[in-house]
Structure 1
Amino acid sequence: MTATPTQQPHPVLADDAAVRLARAAAREEAGPEAVGDHVGVVAEDEAAVTHLFEARHAGYRGWNWAATVSFAGEGTPLSVSEVVLLPGDDALVAPDWVPWHERVRAGDLGVGDLLPAKEDDPRLAPGYVASDDPAVEEVALEAGLGRVRVLSREGVLDSARRWHGGDFGPRSDMARSAPATCGTCGFYQRIAGSLGAAFGVCANELTPADGHVVHVEYGCGAHSEVEVEGGSSVPVADLVYDDAVLDVEANAPGGLVSGGLAPGDAVAEPAGEVSAVDRAAAADAGAPGVEPAPADESGR
C-alpha cells in the first residue's frame, strides 16, 4: 500500500533503517507478538511517511499497525510521530456512526428512560396554547388545543400504516380466521379524532387485543355476537330402543289348561317328557289315552 503525495518524501524515510525504527515503535506499543510483516508505506508529505505492519490480534483481520516516521533534514535523526491501529481495505469495521435518535427502535424504551422528540419531528405539528382561564383550558384540552404540539397529518398517516400492518390489523392471522370484525363487536371502543374512522380499542379482557388499538376490520373468536352450535361435534352411533309390551299370562292352577278338562276331551300328547302331576290331572279328568301314573310302594 503506497501513496504518492504532491511532493516526494525524502528517500531516507523509506529505507531499511526507517522500517526498523517504525517496527520497533509498533512493537513497543502493541507487543512483539502482535506486529507482523511490513505491508506498505503511505507518504504523508515530504518530511513524513507511515509504515504499515500486519496486526496479529484476534478479531482484527485486515487491520494494520501504522507507525509514522518523520525527518527534519540533513544531520537530524529519524523520529516517530505516532503509532496507531488502522483498518485496511479488507478489514472488518463497525458501520458508520448513526445519531442515537435515529438508532432507537420501537420497544427500546425502558423503565426510567427518557426519549425526547426532535425539534423538527415531522410527526408533530405546532399546537395552540390555551389561556390562563381554567374553564377555557379544560375545553381546550378536550379539543387538543392546550398542547404545544399535536399530531401532524404525516404523524396520523404513519400511525395508521403501522397499526394497519401490525398484529391487530386486518391482515393478521387472527383476523383472517375470525367469524366477524371488530366494527360489529360490542367490546370495540372507537378512539377520538380522525383515526377513529378506522381504529378503536378492544375492551374484552379475554382476548390478546385487550387494551390495544385494533383496526375496525380486525377480529377474533371472542366477538360479542359469536354463536356456537349446540350438541357434540363428535359423531355418536344411533341407538334403537325396543319398547314393545309383552302380554304374559300365568298358568291356571292344577293343570295344563285353565278351567280343567271335561270328560271325553282329547288331550294331545306333549312333545317332551310329561311330569307326573300333569299326567295325573289328565287321567283324573278321564282323558283317553292317558294312563294313570303308577303308584309307588306306599300306594300313592
Structure 2
Amino acid sequence: MTATPTQQPHPVLADDAAVRLARAAAQEEAGADAVGDHVGVVAEDRTAVTHLFEARHSGYRGWNWAATVAFAGEGTPLSVSEVVLLPGDDALVAPDWVPWHERVRAGDLGVGDLLPTREDDPRLAPGYVGSDDPAVEEVALEVGLGRVRVLSREGVLDAAQRWHTGDFGPRSDMARSAPATCGTCGFYQRIAGSLGAAFGVCANELTPADGHVVHVEYGCGAHSEVEVEGGSVVPVADLVYDDAVLDVEANAPVAAPRGETPAAAGTAADETGR
C-alpha cells in the first residue's frame, strides 16, 4: 500500500472484505473471466483506497482493473466509488497525442498534398512589419508588391541551424575531406537576403549537392579549382641497366661420318649447334 503518514487509510479499507467488494465490482464491470489476481492497493486518502486486479483482456498486457473503495466512518458500510481500466508500469499504451499540425515532418509532403501553415506560425511575419532582412524590406515597402508574410527572425535562424547541421553543412563527412570550401568555388551561387551571408546553391551537376542549399564552408572533391597532377597515378619502378659482358664461344668442328663429305658434316654441325 502506498500512502503518506497523514493519509494512512482506515484498516477496514484494506481487509479481505474490502478486496472481495472491489473484485465483485470489477467483475460486474468487466466480466468474471476478465478480472485476475489482486496485484496491489493504492491509498487515495484516509477514507478511500483503490484495489488493483490483473486485467485478462487480449492486447492489454500490464493493465489493471482499478476499483476504488470508500469508507464514511464507523457504522457505515463500505462503498465502491468507481471502476476503471488503468495501465500499469509495464503496460503497452498508445503514444502521447500530438496535434495534427505538429505531426508532419520533413519529407512527408507528397505530390498533390496541401499543407497550410498555421496562422500563428512563428517562422513567418507579416510582410508590412518586415523580417529584419533588408532585401525583403526593400521589396515590402513597395505597395502591392510585398508578400503577405515573410520569414521572421525565428524562421531565418531555424533554417540556418537546420542547413548548418545538415548533409551540406561544414561538419558533414564530405566537407571534412574536401580540398577547399564552396565559398571559393565557381559553382557556388549565393542566395539573396540575410541567409546569403552563409549559404548558397550548388550548380555543379556532378556533385550530390547540385541544386541544394550548401553552407559557404561546405566542400566536395568537385571544387572548380581542384587540380590533379598529370601523368600516371601508378608509381613506376626505377629502370635498372645491366652492363654485363656476354662471352660467345664458337662450336668445335665435327668430324664427318663415313660416306659424307666435309661440307655436309659442317652443315649438320651448324644445325646441331643452333
**TM-score, with structure 1 as normaliser:** 0.59
1:158 to partner: Cα distance: 2.0
1:210 to partner: Cα distance: 0.8
CA contact (8 A) 2:163 2:214 kept: yes
RMSD over aligned Cα atoms: 8.8
Q: Which residue of 1 aligns with 2:102?
A: 102
CA contact (8 A) 2:135 2:192 kept: no
1:107 to partner: Cα distance: 2.9
Size of the alignment, in residue pairs? 274
Residues 72 and 186 (structure 1), Cα distance of their counterparts in 2 relative to 1, 3 Å cut = same
Percent identity of the aligned residues? 91
Aligned to 2:54, what secondary structure does the other structure show?
strand
Moved more, 32-41 or 187-196: 32-41
1:291 to partner: Cα distance: 21
Cα shift readout 1:30-57 (whole Å, capped 9, x = no counterpart): 4544422224556879998754312245
CA contact (8 A) 2:66 2:85 kept: yes
Gaps in structure 1 of 5+ consecutive residues:
252-261, 274-286
1:214 to partner: Cα distance: 0.5
Q: Which residue of 2 aligns with 1:247?
A: 247
CA contact (8 A) 1:124 1:151 kept: yes
**TM-score, with structure 2 as normaliser:** 0.64
Cα shift readout 1:84-131 (whole Å, capped 9, x = no counterpart): 211346656555444343444333334444433333332221113999
**Partners in 2 of 1:117 and 1:299 — Cα distance?**
100
CA contact (8 A) 1:66 1:83 kept: yes
Residues 25 and 122 (structure 1), Cα distance of their counterparts in 2 relative to 1, 3 Å cut = same
Aligned to 1:295, what secondary structure does the other structure show?
helix
Q: Which residue of 1 aligns with 2:30?
A: 30
CA contact (8 A) 1:130 1:145 kept: no
Residues 176 and 21 (structure 1), Cα distance of their counterparts in 2 relative to 1, 3 Å cut = same
**Partners in 2 of 1:138 and 1:51 — Cα distance?**
69
Q: Taking CA–CA contacts closer than 8 Å with sequence separation of 6 or more, which of the two structures ends up with the larger relative contact order?
A: 2
Rg bigger for which structure? 1
Moved more, 209-218 or 122-131: 122-131
- Find the partner of 1:293 among 263, 267, 272: 267
**Partners in 1 of 2:39 and 2:2 — Cα distance?**
9
Equivalent residues in 2 for 1:1-300, closer than 5 Å: 1=1, 19-20=19-20, 22-27=22-27, 29-40=29-40, 50-57=50-57, 60=60, 62-67=62-67, 83-88=83-88, 93=93, 96-128=96-128, 146-239=146-239
CA contact (8 A) 1:140 1:146 kept: yes
